[in-house]
Structure 1
Amino acid sequence: MTSVQRRHLVTLGMFIIDEFTFLDDIKNHAGRTADPQIGGGGTYATIGARMWLSPNQLGMIVDRGNDFPPDIQEKLDSYGQDMWLYRDHESRGTTRARNIYKGEERGFEYLTPRIRLTPKDLQNTKLDRPSLIHFICSPTRAGAIISEVDAIQGWKPITVYEPIPDRCIPEELPALISVLPSISILSPNADEALSLLSITEPVSKAVVEEAASRFLELGVGEEGSGSVVIRSGHLGAYIATRKRGGKWIDAYWGVGNTDKVIDVTGAGNSFLGGLAAGLLLAQDDIYRAAMYGSVSASYIIEQQGLPNLTRQYSENGGVTELWNGDSPTRRLGELERKITGTNNS
């Protein structure tokens, strides 16, 4: 009997159809439209990893309601049908949410009931027992997810946890501390990290480094193996481990390239998807893996919504995948040269 190859990355993030409301002059939102878009942090994480890995190495559950748009179906399948596990719901609509913009402020609200995913949803499917699992939720719910993982015999995945933004508050810190020993990679963004730790200083590299150090002290990962990744927008990402210390990884579109930034929605999620792929391709070197994440995020912020995937076919039958007309491998080499001064890609 042939064994089924495990997926490298599966996310428990939900698939969402995003709708948009603008509370001020739409000309202040150049490049954005009010049309529904593919959304959900898990979706963006999966696409961030897809830039580096083949569809059969990834996975995400997509709950399709009775209103699932054909153009969204076509867009998802353009990235590779095998990466999606579709579940149909004839009696309800697809999960939808509204993004509310006013100047630089963004609000978010669900328009339909959520269908939350847990590790049990993966059992006995093609997504069963991946090597790495990614989830976005409150610290309390993270504890429940870890309990389900622990209950599945013979499965010890790398766990990549993004605390959900509206629960990154000081009151959630005790619940977070209780789950940290089971988290391989903890990754809030800078504002979320400071809020959890009740740090009121403005975001700066020094303050981000302090926050990462405190999370390590609070017990991320078992036996000293955990990492903290604080995503900090144009400043880049700070990666901290007990064994190797901390290091900043530049944003691909960082300081001096703000004209390339159209919409940052999903950038942090896609960064973590790219990082997850990088852990496989860089033999668990989390610092180099973060470079993959930086490149993945660079494609997300160049437009509203997901980037376009096209393919170039050579005379000898080879296929090159291009994202927004550019090669992730080329960008990775460019970023690495900037950070390390080497020519390796």
Structure 2
Amino acid sequence: MTVSQDTRHLVTLGMFIIDEFAFLDENGQATGQTRPSQENWRRWNLCINWSSLPAHRIGMVVDRGQDFPPSIQTKLDSYGSDMWLFRDHSDVGTTRAINSYKGDERSFSYLTPRIRITPKDLTNTKLAQPSILHFICSPTRAASILSDVREIDGWFPTTIYEPIPDRCVPEELPNLINVLPSISVLSPNAEEALSLLSLPKLPTKQLVEHAASKFADIGVGQCGAGCVIIRSGAMGAYVATRAKGGRWIDAFWTGNTNKVIDVTGAGNSFLGGLAAGLLQADGDVYDAALYATVSAGFTIEQAGLPSLSLTGNLIEEWNGDSPQRRLEELRNRHSRPVD
């Protein structure tokens, strides 16, 4: 995959959100457990590390409300100020949402009005016409985004579409079918994929493979090389294309649940790593999924962002470990003969 020096490799249309958390007992009452607010943008920072790209090669719009915390501004700037396209709003607050946990169930809702971002918002800005465009939304909104893309002359991005969880219901399948031909990479998680297809909701590898096959048959990527990646938690990720079939990629921390602290944002981190991996792997989606898996592995090791440090040789490490070392470990794991 060739990217000119003046083109952003990856831009996400995902909103910058300050997440808050609530933990409920079986009766829906607050347990008293707390967690600091955190910014829902961690996954894109990992792309810098993977692709050895400077900040000006990836991008995200940040809508700064009147209450935008200075501590967050400092943190964003530390990752590279050219990475962000700031839009200031003096009359509204920064977008916030609450993640509510009741046992293994998670719900998500907005606490403030959303400020949506469209491809047209990127026109005549430093984020215009990236080679890869990521968006997370309903199928209906995805159709609108793709329509906007087609109206911009000379722009034919690789599209990574992450269906929004609350619209992964059977009633949305017809709308999804309408947009699939223009999607390069479709990536729901396992529960979302099964729900869309009215399949049993307890994921198994067999069910995930069946779901991926159905999406491929429906027509993902008919306008180009299409791929389905179903993110399946501890089972790993199933990567399938019509041309080369399906392949499982192990989760990095398979069998080591002590390392899994907080899975919030893991799917987004996976797709950020995938985008960077597509550059490193010259478009090979199976190899790119290894990069994605390692990115997600770093994200789930703590609440909030992984820690970034430099070794004496000025090599970046995340949580005291080398992403390249983890990538090679994962590659070796998949190159061993199957028993």
Contact 2:252 2:294 in 1 (8 A): yes
Q: Could you say which residue in structure 2 is the equivalent of 1:248?
A: 248
Cα 1:147–1:233 shift into 2, 3 Å:
same
Whichever residue aligns with residue 46 of structure 1, its letter is: W
- The answer to whether the 8 Å contact 2:20/2:37 transfers is yes
Counterparts of 1:148-227 in structure 2, within 5 Å, are 148-200=148-200, 202-223=202-223, 225-227=225-227
2:262 is aligned to 263
Partners of 1:310 and 1:322 within 8 A in 2: yes
Percent identical among aligned pairs is 63
Aligned positions, number: 328
Q: Partner letter of residue 48 of structure 2?
A: R
What secondary structure, in the 3-state scheme, does the structure 2 residue paired with 1:51 have?
helix
Distance 1:312 1:80, change over 3 A: farther
Q: 1:321 aligns with which of 299, 316, 319?
A: 316
Aligned letter for 1:245? Answer: G
Structure 1 unaligned spans of 5+: none
CA contact (8 A) 1:224 1:242 kept: no
Normalising by structure 2, report the TM-score.
0.93
Letter of the 1:135 counterpart? F
**The residue matched to 1:161 in structure 2 has which SS?**
strand
Does the aligned pair in 1 maintain the 2:23–2:34 contact within 8 Å? no
- Would the alpha carbon gap of residues 14 and 225 (structure 1) be closer, same or farther in structure 2, given more than 3 Å must change? same
CA displacement at 1:22 relative to structure 2: 2.0
TM-score by structure 1 length?
Answer: 0.91
Find the counterpart in structure 1 of residue 293 from structure 2. Answer: 294
C-alpha distance in 2, partners of 1:201/1:165?
Answer: 14
Contact 1:48 1:272 in 2 (8 A): no
Once the two structures are superposed, residues 169-217 of structure 1 have per-residue CA deviations (whole angstroms, 9 ceiling, x without a partner) of 0000000000000000000000000000000252111110000000000
CA spacing shift, 1:244–1:171, aligned 2, 3 Å: same
Superposed CA RMSD: 1.9
Contact 1:78 1:309 in 2 (8 A): no
Q: Which moved more, 1:209-218 or 1:88-97?
A: 88-97
Say if 1:13 and 1:117, in contact at 8 Å, map to a contact too.
yes
- Look up the SS of the partner of 1:222 in the other structure: coil
**1:293–1:211 distance in 2 versus 1, CA, 3 Å:** same
Question: Using the alignment, how far apart are the partners of 2:177 and 2:328 within structure 1?
Answer: 37
Q: Please state whether the residue corresponding to 2:97 is helix, strand or coil.
A: strand
Q: Are the equivalent residues in 1 in contact too, given 2:209–2:238 (CA < 8 A)?
A: yes
Q: Any conservation in 1 of the 2:213–2:240 contact (CA below 8 Å)?
A: yes
Residue 329 of structure 2 is aligned with which of 303, 313, 334? 334
- The CA deviation string for residues 60-110 of structure 1, in whole angstroms up to 9 with x for no partner, is 001111111122122222222221111111111100111112222222111
Gaps of 5+ in 2: none
User: Is the CA contact (8 Å cut-off) linking 1:51 and 1:274 kept in structure 2?
Assistant: no
